[in-house]
Chains A and B, each alone.
Chain A
Amino acid sequence: MRKPAWHKNHLVNTTTPGANSAIFPISTPEKREITTKPRFSDKVFRGVATVGGLSSLVILGLILIFLGYQGFQVLRSEGFGFITGSNWQVMQDNAGNTDLSASSFGIAAMLVGTLLCAALAVLIAVPISVLCALYLTFYAPQFLKKIMVAIIDLMAAFPSILFGMWGFFILMPHVEYWAKLIHKYFGWFPLFKMDVPVFTRSPFVAGVVLAIMIIPIITSVSREIFSQTPLDRVQAAYALGATRWSMIRAVVIPYGKSGVVGGAMLGLGRAMGETVAVYTVLNLVYQINWQVLIGAGGNVASMILLKFGEAGPTETRALMAAGLVLFLLTLLVNSIANTIVSRTGGKGR
């Protein structure tokens, strides 16, 4: 076999003539053992990646442990009253220390307020988001679709303080006006009743701000689910003479229903954990209040932020316990939501 020219030149240039074969015997690569056993480098790599992967477990576990540890004292002294009571009073004994047995910590009003605002937000956001997702998936021309998807994605990245300030200065006057209208025409409905006509900083305002915050999330989840609708079913519906709406009703909605529910729950989880935006537009009152139009509501996350500044050591522990409750609640909602969404995603034929 002829060697390529470059090979020859290489030998001539770098070695003394005549000693080629003695100094550089032609070496064949050593036969390697063929095995499925991972090599050492692979073992290290897999170990490192597994540790990295498990970090989410570790972090979630640590959050649970530390918040539980710090809040344990308060949780033990309050028992179930921490969740069912709605009194938040810090009593001090003569020495100026906080007296745990005389003080009472209960977050029922805040929990109810959190759920109320978040549920309101989801109720407002879901129809808008679903319609928006339907428009983007089945109606919009291609260029409009691209632009709108980018804009809605951008909106999902807006910081919450931005929604808070915008909600406070721009949106609140409008929403108060809407609230007055609702009160005027639907005041007979128990949720919309009010004894004192105070419309400012009500759970309704907070609900609307939260709704605007979660519209991008629910829209993008729904859009993804809708776009996974099996194409053959869509085309079959059209071939049978369906209009766009009857196609959507017969094919898309049955297919994407549970995905939309999952997306709504993701939005619910986000709305429950929201802090700054709610803090700016909600008047915190320690009383269970179901009337959404009155300017008095509750929110666990906002309460933590509000109380944190002036809280003594014991009260801070109580806040940690409140944080633990909020953490567990959002974890539960998010887990359910993710299970529903992932189950829907894989269903297509």
Chain B
Amino acid sequence: MSTPTISKVKPTQPWKRTPKQQLLIAVNLVGAAVISFVVVFATAMKGKLAYLAIFFISVIVINFVENYIKRGMAAAKDSIATSFATAGLIVAVVPIFSILFTIFDRGRAGLNFNLFVQDMKSNGPNDPLGQGGLLHALIGSGIMVGIALLISLPIGILTAIYLTEIKGIYSRPIKFLVQAMSGVPSIVAGLFILSAIVFPITKSSSGFMGGLALAILMIPTIARTSEEVLLLIPNDLREAGVALGGTQWRTISLIVVPAAKSGLITATILGLARVAGETAPLILVSGGGDSVNPNPFHAPMGSLPFYIWKGFTYGTTESIARSWAGIFVLLSIIFLLFIAARTLSGSGDKK
């Protein structure tokens, strides 16, 4: 009597679905699939679209009825909303997988070793796929994006520093303008370089002009991302720097910026990924040559987007296969940049 029995409560996870509920969901989906097959066979409708539509409707109806019987009207409405939200995600994500699959499927054919060591100087777009490559495009893209980076990195980071550290009287308008600038259509950037530099001064297209056009598109990306990164740096660091007798310049250059380094690199990489695939301005100002041209100030310069564009507009089977291979390479580069950015910003968070 005096020794109470201690019963240990086994922790449960009431929010988790029980096996029975999971089975019920599976039965619902299978049932909806069966209904959609039956309806499509029985009526005049045909095609994938009909299957999907009927399937979706039956899932909704089954869930609605089940929830209505079990828990009433509110839960039934909730189940409809859940179905729609899930469908929204699926519709948004299907194109991505379709795009990735298409590029892998069609880009494979054009991939070979020559692609990375030859240019198109002595090959037409109609030649068999083994001949000619996109070396000129890779080098050209590298040079132009590099020029864009050299110009936009200091400007972008200075803008971010102005917005977060100095907070002068112009911060609000500048913030607004940077946001407005990120909406400038890429073709307008190309037209601007054309109207301001190519027509009045140089009179010929070159890789440097392409780099300038890309810089215009890159500045807002770098500035906005860097601003977000700098805002995350705790104010304690700045106060500590100033309290130790540092001037604002030394505090920012020796404490704030090094602390935000990985984030700033992420911002830069995101900027690179944004402009690496820009096509329209390069069509207008870079000329797009077919041979390797390492001099950005003289003669047209090829680039990866231009290579893809050229193959696509030429329109033959071989040239389009070349384009898909080009897209495969371009997207691989963007993908790598993206992973680099994610990894860096992830490692920055942990510190």
Contact = CB atoms under 8 A, between A and B. Distances in A.
Nearest to B182: A334
A46 B168 contact: yes
Interface string A311-337: 000001001100100110011011101
B330 interface: yes
A56 B174 contact: yes
B250 interface: yes
B225 to A, nearest CB: 12
A135 B89 contact: yes
Interface in B81-114: 81-82, 84-89, 91-93, 95-96, 98-99, 102-103, 106
A53 B158 contact: yes
A165 B95 contact: no
Interface stretch (A4-12, A147-155, A189-197, A289-297): A147-155
Which of A49, A151, A248 lies at the interface centre, i.e. has the most chain B CB atoms within 10 A of its CB?
A: A49
B159 interface: yes
A139 B249 contact: no
Which of A138, A150, A181, A334 lies at the interface centre, i.e. has the most chain B CB atoms within 10 A of its CB?
A: A334
B247 A41 contact: yes
A62 B196 contact: yes
B312 A159 contact: no
Contacts of B145: none
Q: Is the interface of A mostly helix, strand, loop or mixed?
A: helix
Interface string A225-257: 000000000000000000111101000000000
Contact of A273 (B49, B92, B173, B187): B187
Contacts of B158: 48-49, 51-53, 55
A172 interface: no
A88 interface: no
A103 interface: no
B238 interface: no
Nearest to A163: B99
B92 A132 contact: yes
B284 interface: yes
Given A60-B177, A132-B88, A270-B183, A326 B277 contact: no
Contact of B219 (A59, A161, A304): A59
Contacts of B276: 159
Contact of A53 (B98, B162, B188): B162
Interface size class of B (residues with CB under 8 A): 35 or more
B170 to A, nearest CB: 7
A131 B85 contact: yes
Which of A161, A246, A327, A333 lies at the interface centre, i.e. has the most chain B CB atoms within 10 A of its CB?
A: A161
A69 B195 contact: yes
B92 A219 contact: yes
Given A45-B252, A56-B219, A305 B159 contact: no
B181 interface: yes
Interface string A150-171: 1111110111111111101111
A63 B184 contact: yes
Interface string B257-283: 000000000000010011011111001
Given A131-B87, A275-B186, A60 B180 contact: yes
A130 interface: yes
A276 B174 contact: no
A131 B179 CA distance: 26
A41 B323 CA distance: 52
A46 B166 contact: yes
Given A42-B249, A60-B181, A323-B188, A52 B161 contact: yes
Contacts of B51: none
A70 interface: yes
B102 A169 contact: yes
B324 interface: yes
Contact of A157 (B199, B216, B334): B334
Given A131-B85, A178-B49, A301 B92 contact: no
Contacts of A152: 92-93, 96
Interface stretch (B34-42, B71-79, B115-123, B127-135): B71-79
A127 interface: yes
A121 interface: no
A138 B283 CA distance: 43
Which of B98, B103, B270, B280 lies at the interface centre, i.e. has the most chain A CB atoms within 10 A of its CB?
A: B280
B77 A246 contact: yes
A92 B112 CA distance: 49
A66 B77 contact: no
A207 interface: no
Contact of B98 (A49, A51, A54, A170): A170
Interface in A130-150: 130-132, 134-136, 138-140, 148, 150
A327 B99 contact: no
Contacts of A157: 270, 273-274, 277, 334, 338
Which of B102, B168, B180, B189 lies at the interface centre, i.e. has the most chain A CB atoms within 10 A of its CB?
A: B180
B305 interface: yes
Contact of A130 (B88, B168, B178): B88
A87 interface: no
Nearest 3 A/B pairs, CB to CB: A159-B277, A52-B158, A131-B88
Interface of B: 47, 49, 74-75, 77-78, 80-82, 84-89, 91-93, 95-96, 98-99, 102-103, 106, 154-155, 157-159, 161-163, 165-166, 168, 170-171, 173-174, 176-189, 191-192, 194-196, 199, 216, 219-220, 223, 245, 247-250, 252, 270, 273-274, 276-280, 283-284, 305, 308-309, 312, 323-324, 327, 330-331, 334-335, 338, 342
30 contacts: A42-B247, A49-B158, A49-B165, A51-B158, A52-B161, A53-B170, A55-B155, A56-B174, A56-B181, A62-B196, A70-B195, A131-B88, A132-B89, A135-B86, A153-B338, A157-B274, A157-B338, A159-B276, A159-B305, A159-B331, A160-B186, A162-B277, A243-B78, A276-B279, A305-B280, A326-B185, A330-B185, A331-B184, A334-B183, A335-B176
Given A63-B184, A154-B96, A245-B81, 12 more contacts: A42-B248, A44-B249, A49-B158, A53-B170, A67-B188, A160-B186, A162-B277, A162-B330, A165-B324, A244-B78, A316-B199, A327-B184
